[in-house]
Amino acid sequence: MKSAVIVFPGSNCDRDVAVALEKFHIKNQMVWHNETELPKCDLIILPGGFSYGDYLRTGCIASKSRIINAVIKHEKNGGLILGICNGFQILIETGLLPGVLLRNKKLRFLSKNVFLKALNINNHFCLYYKQKKVIELPIAHNEGSYFANSNLLQNLEDNNLIAFKYCDQKGNIISDANPNGSSNNIAGILNNKKNVLGMMPHPERLIDPILSGEDGSLMFKSLFNSPT
């Protein structure tokens, strides 16, 4: 498994992701946004941060950067793409994932751990969450309220494209456990082909039991062991 982390001006989780990838034996390369070609890789990661200072709309300017055509091509060829936080916002602005991410309902920047339920584990990203009833991961965002019209929400639910939902400590998906006002408690979604995952929580921040926890490790283990 080989990966490429795209670095935009303002990305700030790029190196954390790189550390996580390397820890789980995924051979990684950093790619600057101004490149037009990607190195040979199976997985692209769009990291968290504040690409282009969140100018215009979060992820908007990054979605028009030079490397994005290569990212879209990678997706068309069935390659894997993981967008975390700002990366999720970029995927939405690029059109690789549907819907929109609005400002958090209470207009506050949120930085805390949340509980999640993995609803679809039959994909390259979430296989190792099979045994895990409730996952704990940190969120850190200002625009993370996932919004979609009722048709799209129905489509996501019917086709099992919601990867993660916010829940309480016991795994109940209730509105009290929804930190940002996302429709249906959505924290992460897949595209139809299930080769693109966008999520607001940060798996790369929980990969070491000494420092934090290991619930993020499971995603990188899934990716390393997924057939490519």
Partner 1 sequence: MKISAIVTLKKDVLDPQGKVVSQTLRNMGYDNIINVRQGKYFEIELNEINKEKAKKKVEEICKNLLTNIVIEDYTINLK
Q: Which helix (H) or strand (E) holds 155?
A: helix 150-158
Residue 100 · residue 149 · CB < 8 Å: no
Q: How far apart are CA 208 and CA 189, in angstroms?
A: 25
Active site residue 204: yes
SS3 assignment for 2-52:
EEEEEECCCECCHHHHHHHHHHCCCEEEEEECCCCCCCCCCEEEECCECHH
Q: How far is the CB of 151 from partner 1 (least distance, A)?
A: 12
Report residue 190 as tokens.
């897949």
Q: Smallest distance from the beta carbon of 126 to partner 1, in angstroms? A: 26
Residues in the site for partner 1, rule: CB under 8 A? 56-57, 60, 64, 93, 99-100, 102-103, 105-107, 147
In 105-129, which positions are buried (b, 16+ CB within 10 angstroms) versus exposed (e)? eeeeebeebbbbbbbbeebbbbbbb
- Tell me, what amino acid is at 68? I
**Cα–Cα distance for residue pair 40/45, rounded to 1 Å:** 14
Q: In whole angstroms, how close is the CB of 65 to partner 1 at the nearest point?
A: 12
- Residue 85 annotated in active site: yes
Residue closer to partner 1 (CB basis): 97 or 118: 97
8-state DSSP, 203: G
**Annotated catalytic residue 60:** no
Strand partners, 189: 162, 198
Shortest Å distance, C-beta 183 to partner 1: 11
Active-site annotation holder among 85, 93, 124, 167: 85
Nearer to partner 1, 2 or 103 (CB): 103
CB closer to partner 1 out of 143 and 204: 143
CB of 207 to partner 1, least distance (A): 33
- Known catalytic residues are 85, 202, 204
